Amino acid sequence: LESVQKDKRRISEELESTTNQLLEAQSKINELERRVKSIDADRQQLQNDLDDSKDSLQIEINRNQNLQAQYEKLKAETDKRI
């Protein structure tokens, strides 16, 4: 009977220890999932910012090309008059 009680106590302690380890592991998993979610949100924001910057750059390139064409046209007209 005493041997059975010792085994029961030992098994109970092992179960408690294993349960605590599982709870700690789950807590770490939850924290990592929160971090992954936060990093993914940051990545998405950066991608949106990059897309916006590319769009703005293309607008400026088009504007520059348009001004360059206008300049060349005016220069050609001026050169004809001179």
- Mean pLDDT value of segment 8-23: 98
**Residue 10 CA: distances (Å) to CA of 18, 22, 28, 31, 38:** 12, 18, 27, 32, 42
- Mean pLDDT value of segment 3-30: 97
- Mean pLDDT value of segment 1-29: 97
Distance from C-alpha of 38 to C-alpha of 26, rounded to nearest angstrom: 18
pLDDT tens-digit readout, 24-51: 999 999 999 999 999 999 999 999 999 9
pLDDT at 17 over 90: yes
Q: In Å, how far from its chain's centre is CA 4?
A: 55
pLDDT at 70 over 90: yes
What pTM was computed for the model?
0.66
Amino acid type, 53: S
